[in-house]
Amino acid sequence: MPADELAALREREQRYRMLVETIPLGLVWLDAQGQVRSANPAALHILGLSLAQLQGRVPIEGRWRTIAEDGSDFPRDRHPAQVALRTGEAVRDVVMGITVPGRGDVWIRVNAQPLRVDGAALEAYASLEDITEQVRLSRELRQQASTDFLTGLANRRSFMERLETEFQRVRRYPRQASCVLALDLDHFKRVNDTWGHAAGDAVLRQVAALMQRAVRRPDALARSGGEEFLLLLPDTGRDAAVAMAERLRLRLRATPTRVGETLIPVTISIGVSAISPADTAASQVLARADAALYEAKRAGRDAVRLAG
């Protein structure tokens, strides 16, 4: 090779090496057996490993735990680099979480490209992009969209999605009983008028916390607006739902909210309704719970009523 061509080749190689060494995108090379052969500094930083720790390892080893976006274990047979080697096809935009020493869970977007000779995948390279911040912000936005900012409970929109899921389940399995409670703090306007809105907010937060501690893990508790709450009790019949409502009523009645040196008494009225297989829409369940709630208020408040 002429000297000028050799010099040009070396210059291109140097530029390529500099590009690979300095770009923020992680690059990992794997051989035909799926073992890591090399990686650039960005990949080592993202993975929290040295090149010596990485070389010769297979990304699907059991000690390399990766998680899917829903928190479950990422299927080993779907690892992008392994899929690319197995199928000979490129794999794009796979999101997975990894545990990095000193950083905790890190989320990465992975692309994998096989390098083929005569139709056979001889090796592959994977690109890694750290998207931890994007995932965190996305989760925060989803939480804000489904959460009541004052109490931290689910909001009405989120509750209705959960209710619809439970409603469809009961329709499929009519023997599965589930109930909905509509709850409303009694004379809450007096709290705001007498002690101020800051005190009213304190009452709402305490009521939410008291109820949250009283419900089960499968239950769904939401602040639906103002001083109104909703509670879904899956796999719960009418009698058990009424008993739960009574426990909540008594607990709130016995636990006034302390604001400074003042104790603010709180009572609640509750309507109970069961999901019926004969219902054609989840809104019918809520309508019956609301009607029972109004009966409790007409009866003098601080009461529980079961829809007929």
> Is residue 167 domain-shared with residue 292, that is, in the same domain?
yes
Give the ranges where the chain is alpha helix by DSSP (H).
3-22, 41-47, 51-54, 80-87, 132-146, 156-172, 188-195, 197-214, 238-253, 282-298
Domain presence at residue 138: no
How far, in Å, CA of 235 to CA of 6, rounded? Answer: 76
How far, in Å, CA of 292 to CA of 306, rounded? Answer: 6
> Is residue 153 domain-shared with residue 121, that is, in the same domain?
no
Domain presence at residue 71: yes
Q: What is the pLDDT along the chain (308 residues), one digit of tens a residue?
A: 566 555 555 555 565 555 557 688 899 998 888 888 889 889 888 988 888 888 888 776 656 678 888 778 888 788 898 899 888 889 999 999 988 878 888 999 999 999 877 766 688 889 999 999 988 888 888 777 889 999 999 999 999 999 999 999 998 888 889 999 999 999 999 999 999 999 999 999 999 999 999 999 999 999 999 999 999 999 999 999 999 999 999 999 999 999 999 999 999 999 999 999 889 999 999 999 999 999 999 999 999 999 97
> Is residue 161 domain-shared with residue 12, that is, in the same domain?
no
> Is residue 28 domain-shared with residue 170, that is, in the same domain?
no
* Backbone dihedral angles phi then psi of residue 246, each to the nearest 5 degrees: -65, -40
How far, in Å, CA of 243 to CA of 233, rounded? Answer: 12
Helix 132-146 / helix 156-172 crossing angle, nearest 10 deg: 80
SS (H, E, C) 102-142: CCEEEEEEEEEEEEEECCEEEEEEEEEEECHHHHHHHHHHH
Q: Which residue among the candidates 5, 161, 227, 261 is catalytic per the annotation?
A: 227
Domain presence at residue 137: no
293 CB contacts (<8 Å, ≥6 apart)?
A: 182, 183, 184, 269, 270, 271, 305
Which contacts (CB < 8 Å, 24+ apart) does range 200-204 have? 201/150, 202/257, 202/259, 202/264, 203/257, 203/264, 203/266, 204/150, 204/151
Helix 197-214 / helix 238-253 crossing angle, nearest 10 deg: 140
Number of domains in the chain: 2
* CATH (domain of 236): 3.30.70.270
> Is residue 69 domain-shared with residue 172, that is, in the same domain?
no
Domain boundary among 105, 132, 159: 132
Structure tokens at 209: 């916390």
Q: What range defines the domain where residue 251 resides? A: 147-306
Domain presence at residue 142: no
- Contact yes or no for 128/97 (Cβ under 8 A): no
pTM: 0.63
227 is annotated as an active-site residue: yes
Could you give the C-alpha distances from 49 to 52, 58, 98, 278, in angstroms and in order?
8, 14, 12, 59
> Is residue 87 domain-shared with residue 178, that is, in the same domain?
no
Domain presence at residue 12: yes
> Is residue 153 domain-shared with residue 80, that is, in the same domain?
no
> Is residue 122 domain-shared with residue 248, that is, in the same domain?
no
Domain presence at residue 139: no
Domain boundary among 102, 132, 162: 132
Domain presence at residue 105: yes
How far, in Å, CA of 269 to CA of 245, rounded? Answer: 9
Structure tokens at 132: 């931890």
Domain boundary among 132, 166, 195: 132
Domain presence at residue 46: yes
